[in-house]
Structure formats: structure tokens, C-alpha cells
Amino acid sequence: MSVIDEVVEKVRSKDRDQPEFIQAVTEVMETLKPTVDKHPEFVKAKIYERIVEPDRMIIFRVPWEDDNHEVQVNRGFRVQFNNAIGPYKGGLRLHPSVNLSVIKFLGFEQIFKNSLTTLPMGGAKGGSEFDPKGKSDAEVMRFIYAFMRELYRYIGPDTDVPAGDIGVGGREIGYLFGYYKKIVNEHTGVLTGKGLEYGGSLIRPQATGYGVAYFAAEMLATRGKDFASKVVAISGSGNVAQFAVQKVTQLGGKVVTLSDSNGSIVDEEGINAEKLAFVMNLKNVKRGRIKEYVERYPNAKYIEGKSVWDIISDNGMKVDVALPCATQNEINEFHANKLVRNGVIAVVEGANMPSNLGAIKILQANNVLFGPAKAANAGGVAVSGLEMSQNSLRLSWTSEEVDQRLQQIMKSIHKASLEAAEAYGKPGDYLTGANIAGFIKVAKAMLAYGIV
Ligand code: NDP
Ligand code: 2IT
């Protein structure tokens, strides 16, 4: 049995109640196989065994009072996975599906993603099964204060710097930062995704979605193609999806789908800038549902209970590029086969782990350009890294400057992924390339520290 198989086996048996974490470990470890022969020093120092074990996992009670003065209790998580190359860094997710397995998978992925950005950031993730949907602003604020009342002792600008993820946007970061500042009495860059008035970076809200589009454009260019006149399917309708729509549209593509956890819309005429402004107001200000899109734009269709990938599969809808931007495991083998049959050119992941292992294999076997999450959606955390730099410098850069750096970083991740894939015998395989390129830097740093 190879050292990689042994590590995966050990995780399967030790963490058998953590399917998402096992999935992420399997995906990464399988692709690291070519590193084993080239780096006997990693094997000897048991780097593969060590990297799947988090530095620490913090789980805590979050008691708060709802608007009816009833006490509610949620569970908070922060998994500080690896700080070999920089302070822990990664988002906070508020969604009913959050559990230890989900946070561990996200924290594990974040190690390699952050390494790929070229910036000095370790990997972490946190969150709670608290559901912000249907809660008043006051309830969200009281929950967040209670969450930070415990989290504050484990984080800091040189220790661990959380940010947003599903269910955590500008409003939540404001409450988190405000409460941290109050109890620690320090105005420091302890969170990213902050408002511009109190240390945030221009382009951070846009960064993940823009980065996905930039990365996809780089991938298309390797086949002499671009976004012009391409039909693009995007899932989700949150932060990542919204700015992916914006950039893809600016690059000449036509986005025809969006979704939320209740259903999906198809707009064959394309979601143009005006329609996107409607979606942004609907989701970010009114906190409404995507089905309201068809009340405003009756030529579009809303399909309740179906994902974007279900609809494409059921109707034989032809799309050139697919950008899953909602959540994990949206695209399964069935969807992947249908996408292939309908002639998809590229599947580029905006969400974290939106394609399951079988789906990835099918897409790659059929020569579809497959852009893995940790490379394609790294623009968000990359600009978080730039926000940290600006906070340390006590300066702020212009949008042009940050966007320029974001574009450079996405280009460099694309190049590093292709080069590593080539060097380790898997030319054109972005998944293998991204995993190896991200891993090598972290592994070398771990090696330098000895056995800690
Ligand atoms: P948001 O909360 O802004 O939006 C999430 C979107 O996905 C919403 O439309 C939501 O629908 C939908 N969604 C969430 N969970 C499910 C589910 N279980 N089934 C179907 N739809 C679902 O989050 P983000 O846009 O920030 O995050 C989207 C993805 O991108 C996540 O995988 C996240 O980890 C990843 N990501 C985010 C980054 C960031 O900077 N924000 C950076 C890199 C990756 P509803 O409104 O019904 O909840
Ligand atoms: O998955 C991710 O990379 C994020 N949610 C962004 C993390 C960050 O620290 O900006």
C-alpha cells in the first residue's frame, strides 16, 4: 500500500463520520501521488500524515436571545488547520448544513488555496449551523456578538484572520469586527471583507466572482477561445455568483441561469447589467428569493426544487461554460455526463468542492477544461490577503490597483497549476497541478520546522 493510500485509509477510519472531509482528503491525496517518489524527505518526515490533522479544532456554545426573548443555542466552530506559511486565514460560514465535517473540508482545502495565492496565509475555516434566513438584523447581531464573545480569544491579525463565506457578508463582518474591537480594544486587521470606512479593501466583494471569470478566461485561452458569445450557466445567487455574472458579462459571455436553495431561474435572453442590479438589490438589500426574478422578468422561467444542473440535465440545455457558485456537491456524475453530452467546454468552480469525485473524473476523461475550486476561487482570499497588507501598511490602494493585482494573481495561479501538472507528469490536469503547487510550499515549510 502506498503512503498516500495509507493516509486516506487512516482518515476514513478515524474520521468516519465526516464524509465531506474524507472526500476533500481523497481528492487532494490522490493527486499528490506523483510527489511521493520525488520527495522522499516528505515521506520520511510524515508530512502526508501530518497535513490531514488540524493544528486545533475549537468548538463552542453560542447562546443568544431571539426577538421573543427566548434563549437559542447554536454551536460555533473554528478549525485552525495549518499555519506553516502564514497566520490562519479563511472564512466563516453560517448555514444549517454546517458541522465539523464541512468546516474541516473547507479548512483543509483552504491550506492549498492560500498557498497558491503566493501570499503568506495559512488555512482555517469556521462557522455555525445558525441560519440567518428569516432572522431580523437584531437577531443576527445578537448571535454574532455571542459567537465573537468566544471566538475573539483565538484570533488576531497575526494569529488567525477570519472573513466571509456562505451567510456571512458585509453586515455580518461589521458586527463581528465591531464586537471584537469593543472587547479587545484594538482596531486591527483581524477580519477581512470589512467596510471601506473601517479598513476594508476595494474590490474584496467582487474578488471571488471576478477571479473565477479571470481564471476561466485563462483556461479558455489555452484552447484559443474566450467568453465572447458563450452561453454560461451559473448557480447560486450570492456574493460569488453575482460578481461572476458581472465579469462574465463584461467579457462578452451570456449568463442564462441563477439559483438559490429553493430553485433556479433560466433566462435565455441573458442576465444583463440591469437584471443583475435587480438581483443584487433583491438578494443583498431585500434579502428576497430568486423566484422573484420571474415576477420582474416574465420571459424567464423559475423551476422550484431543481438545481441549475438538474435543469440542464433534464432539458438537454446547451451551455458552453458552467460556473457552479452555490455550495458543495452540486454537480454529480449524472450532471457531469449530461454536461459533456451537451458540449460543455469548461467547468470552473466558484464554490468550494461543488463537483463530486465521480463528476470530476467524467469531466476530465472527456477533455472538458476543469478548473478546481482551490485555484479558480482563490481570488477572494487573495484580495483578503491584500486587505491584510493594506491594513499593515495603514494605506489603501485604488480599485484599479487591487484589480490589477487580482488579475496578476489569477494568472500566476493558472501558470503555476499548469507548470506543476506538466512537471509531475499530468499535463493539462489543473486539479493535480493546483494541489501539487499548493502542497509543495506548505510541505517544505513544515519540513523546515522539524517535528512540531
Ligand atoms: P452567499 O451566502 O453569498 O451565497 C450562497 C448562494 O448559494 C446563495 O444563493 C444560496 O442560496 C446558495 N446556497 C447555499 N447553500 C446552498 C445549498 N445547500 N443548496 C443550494 N443552494 C445553496 O455565499 P457565497 O457566494 O460567498 O459562497 C458561495 C460558494 O462560494 C461557497 O461554496 C463558498 O464557500 C464559496 N466561496 C466564497 C468565497 C467568498 O469570498 N465569499 C471565496 C471562495 C469560495 P440561499 O439564498 O437559498 O441560501
Ligand atoms: O473559501 C474562501 O476562500 C473564502 N470564503 C474566503 C476566505 C477569506 O479569508 O477571504
Pocket mutation for ligand 1, best pick of 173, 260, 291, 323 (most atoms within 8 Å of C-beta): 260
Which pLDDT belongs to residue 373?
Answer: 98
Averaged pLDDT of the chain: 98
372 within a domain of the structure (yes/no)? no
Residues 226 and 358 in one domain: yes
Q: Which residues contact 16 (CB under 8 A, 6 or more apart)?
A: 22
Which pLDDT belongs to residue 1?
Answer: 75
**Last residue of one domain, picked from the residues 367, 391, 412:** 367
Q: Where are the alpha helices (DSSP H) in 70-136?
A: 100-116
Which pLDDT belongs to residue 445?
Answer: 98
Residues 289 and 161 in one domain: no
Provide the domain limits for residue 94.
3-187
Residues 251 and 361 in one domain: yes
141 within a domain of the structure (yes/no)? yes
Residues 154 and 90 in one domain: yes
71 within a domain of the structure (yes/no)? yes
Cα gap 132→268, rounded to integer Å: 31
Residues 16 and 154 in one domain: yes
Which CA distances in Å does 46 have to 41, 49, 86, 216, 372? 8, 5, 21, 35, 26
Calculate how far, in angstroms, residue 447's C-alpha sits from the geometric centre of ligand 1: 35
Mean pLDDT confidence for 230-250: 98
Which pLDDT belongs to residue 36?
Answer: 97
How many structural domains comprise the chain? 2
Task: Reply yes or no on whether the pLDDT at 105 is more than 90.
Answer: yes
Taking the model in full, what pTM does it have?
0.98
316 within a domain of the structure (yes/no)? yes
Which pLDDT belongs to residue 256?
Answer: 98
In the residue annotation, 181 being an active-site residue is answered as no
Calculate how far, in angstroms, residue 241's C-alpha sits from the geometric centre of ligand 1: 8
Instruction: Check which CATH number belongs to the domain holding 84 and give it.
Output: 3.40.50.10860
Which pLDDT belongs to residue 197?
Answer: 98
Residues 157 and 276 in one domain: no
425 within a domain of the structure (yes/no)? no
Residues 350 and 255 in one domain: yes
Residues 148 and 290 in one domain: no
375 within a domain of the structure (yes/no)? no
423 within a domain of the structure (yes/no)? no
**Last residue of one domain, picked from the residues 305, 340, 367:** 367
What Rg do the C-alpha atoms of the chain give, in angstroms?
A: 21
Instruction: Check which CATH number belongs to the domain holding 258 and give it.
Output: 3.40.50.720
Residues 169 and 221 in one domain: no
List, for residues 267-305, the tens digit of each pLDDT value.
999 999 999 999 999 999 999 999 999 999 999 999 999
Joined together, the cell numbers standing for residue 426 give 499530468
List, for residues 122-170, the tens digit of each pLDDT value.
999 999 999 999 999 999 999 999 999 999 999 999 999 999 999 999 9
Sequence length of the chain is 452
Which pLDDT belongs to residue 169?
Answer: 97
429 within a domain of the structure (yes/no)? no
Calculate how far, in angstroms, residue 117's C-alpha sits from the geometric centre of ligand 2: 12
Residues 33 and 160 in one domain: yes
List, for residues 203-227, the tens digit of each pLDDT value.
999 999 999 999 999 999 999 999 9
How many C-beta atoms surround the C-beta of residue 246 within 10 A? 20
Mean pLDDT confidence for 183-202: 98
Mean pLDDT confidence for 96-114: 98
- Catalytic residue (one of 104, 125, 135, 230): 125
Residues 165 and 238 in one domain: no
Residues 15 and 138 in one domain: yes
**Last residue of one domain, picked from the residues 367, 384, 401:** 367
List, for residues 407-430, the tens digit of each pLDDT value.
999 999 999 999 999 999 999 999
Pocket residues: Cβ below 6 A from ligand 2: 89-91, 113, 163, 165, 192, 352, 380-381, 384
